[in-house]
A = this chain, B = another copy of it.
Amino acid sequence: MTSTNTNSQPVLEDISVIVAGQGGDGSLTVITMLADLFRNAGLNVYTERDVASRIRGGHAAATMRAFIGEKHCIGSHIDLLVALDEEAVEKKVHQISSNSIVVFDDSSGPLRSGLLPEGTKLYAAPFNRIAMRTMRRELYKNSIAFGIVGRLLGLEDEAMRQTFTKRFERRGQIILDYNIEALELGLHLADEMGIKRGEGKYRIEQTEPEEQILVMGNESIAFGFMAAGGRFFTGYPITPSTEVLETLQKWLPRCGGVARQTEDELAGINMAIGAALTGVRTMTATSGPGISLMQEGVGHAGSGEVPLVIVDCQRSGPSTGMPTKPEQSDLNIMVFGGHGDFPRIVLTPGHPDDCFYLAVDATNLADKYQCPVFIAMDQALSQNIASVKPFNLDEVKVVPGKRLTAEEVAELDTYKRYSFSEDGISAFAAPGTPGGMSLVTGNEHDEFGLVSTDPKNRVKMMDKRFHKIEEAKKELPKGRHFGEPDAPIGFIGIGMMYGVILDARIELEKRGYNTQYLQPRTLWPMLDETLEFIDRCERVYVIDLNAQGQIAHLLMHQGADSSKIISIRRYDGLPYRPGYLVNQIVEREEELNNNDKKEAKAQ
């Protein structure tokens, strides 16, 4: 993934690095510092972590891609693997090739031979032992290894020192000193291993870094909500959503907002509903188990017409499942959950920057259409960190919903909380507004909010609520389309698949496949553009990060021609790599081709 240059070292344009070991080994720290260094050198970065759902131990890895230009996922090929133990090599070997470099901690003995593909360049040293011997703490092995890794990647020694200083400063002088010492040990070791300054595998062409921010999807969601005037958040910790809570706990109070950890998810959503009644813009966030618990609340918000944003950071289900692994298998419950019929909106961002803009939209939409609005995330989209253009705050449009002030109420003849209206939306007065007294209930109710079972009123109220969604369709976030509209092969995929499909398309094009891709950004209600996209393609690969093909069947549910849909499903908990997808597609395309040929012969 690098273009060569007059100099023997290729210029680093796109590489992926994995640091892997046991949980607590600090792989993430190494990757974070590498990302920082590359950012400073003018490259863009994307990082991913892979941990077990436990505090210490268990295989854990962090991966970074550094690149020039635009990329939205980890690459298919790992250029450099830093393996802190043999298990790390075993777990990651399928991602490396003879072009890869491996840095290995051989403190417990040399790497089992035959494990690596032939030709792989191996740099082994006993980082752990050196750390224990010279510094008495295993912990410093990473900083030692960093020296080797940095040199290999073509980073400047001085730049490494600066990043170390930036990173460890706040942890106190002693810790900083030790880590710098470890780094120096590593650089010294690199010298011994023949990786001298400027003699690494790559050359970095330093450019003026474009201004970018490093964020994970969860932070973007939190910030988008806040920037859209969101001022109330209640939720309960759960992986991989907790950063939404934590980000808002940090930032919301500064803007006069409340962000509170509740006793459980039931309190989380119902406290949010109670707050929303007062007119404040409100959100909660959770993951699968919490989404299940919130179902009664979701339907209540639908029935009572309470504006509410609900973030579902999906992880591998069902039940407790695999809490740290990505999946997109709560789509069914977001679209179909809650008993009874009520309107809802489900938005599906595709990258941490998209998260920001869709969180703004979600917050506006919930307020405007007075209904629950889901933001469907997945673990990778939630927690992977990308460098993206700073959000354009000047473009943020905060559009208040239909509210009535005391003066406006006073001008009315009669004020009805649920008055029938053309667009199905009823303007309402928030508590505290003189004259705006009203009733809100999850029972069927008349225009005043009083419980009613009158059959005619019932039908009108149900229709009113669903009518809002028909109205909303006109302005719900459109998908992003890539490729020629007459390309025969289509892709539909959401969330973390956005970056993967974009990358895969490039590779597929190289291999002669002409594709187009629609990233739906509104999954529910289904927009016409989505069905039209399917109509337009000869066949559509619907990529489902779940076992049941939830997106594929949802399209059928909405009338898509099932004969055009090829359902690709993955649910092993591993993050998708573009190359894997490319292989899947090529395989199927060839199969189709063969079948066509066979059919042609048979005729």
Contact = CB atoms under 8 A, between A and B. Distances in A.
A339 B327 CA distance: 11
Given A333-B336, A453-B52, A559-B562, A319 B341 contact: no
Contact of A573 (B342, B458, B573): B458
Nearest to A295: B292
Contacts of A304: 319
Contacts of A316: 340, 444, 458
Interface stretch (A141-149, A200-208, A545-553, A592-600): A545-553
A400 interface: no
A456 interface: yes
A553 B546 contact: no
Contacts of A559: 556, 562
A341 B318 contact: yes
A303 B318 contact: yes
A291 interface: yes
Interface string A261-296: 000000000000000000000000001110111011
A339 B335 contact: no
A333 B341 contact: no
Contacts of A288: 299, 339-340
Interface in A304-339: 304, 314, 316-325, 327, 329-330, 332-333, 335-339
B322 A453 contact: yes
Interface in A533-570: 546-548, 550, 553-554, 556-559, 562
A318 B337 contact: no
Contacts of A562: 559
A314 B340 CA distance: 9
Given A442-B321, A453-B573, A340 B336 contact: no
B319 A302 contact: yes
Nearest to A332: B336
A53 B452 CA distance: 10
Contacts of A462: 547, 571
A324 B442 CA distance: 14
A479 to B, nearest CB: 21
B296 A339 contact: no
B330 A340 contact: yes
Contacts of A289: 296, 339
Nearest to A442: B319
Given A341-B571, A556-B559, A318 B333 contact: no
A556 B552 CA distance: 12
Given A289-B296, A557-B553, A455 B572 contact: yes
Contacts of A323: 443
A377 to B, nearest CB: 13
Contacts of A330: 339-340
Nearest to A324: B453
A441 interface: yes
Contacts of A547: 341, 462-463, 466
Interface in A218-272: none
Nearest to A301: B319
Contacts of A554: 557
Interface in A39-91: 52-53
A434 to B, nearest CB: 29
A548 to B, nearest CB: 5
Nearest to A314: B339
A563 to B, nearest CB: 10
A341 B317 contact: yes
A340 B318 contact: yes
A340 to B, nearest CB: 2
A317 B462 CA distance: 10
A318 B305 CA distance: 11
A299 B292 contact: yes
A574 interface: yes
B557 A458 contact: no
Contacts of A455: 572-574
Contacts of A339: 287-289, 291-292, 314, 317-318, 329-330, 333
Contacts of A441: 320
Contacts of A337: 292, 295, 332-333, 336-337
Contact of A320 (B443, B466, B572, B573): B443
Nearest to A286: B339
A132 interface: no
Given A299-B319, A442-B321, A444-B316, A572 B459 contact: yes
A300 interface: yes
6 contacts: A287-B339, A288-B339, A300-B318, A322-B453, A456-B572, A458-B571
Given A288-B340, A337-B337, A341-B548, 17 more contacts: A52-B453, A288-B299, A292-B338, A293-B293, A296-B319, A299-B318, A300-B320, A317-B338, A317-B341, A319-B443, A320-B442, A322-B443, A324-B453, A330-B340, A458-B572, A459-B572, A553-B557
Query: Which 3 residue pairs spanning A and B have beta carbons closest together?
Result: A317-B340, A318-B340, A319-B442
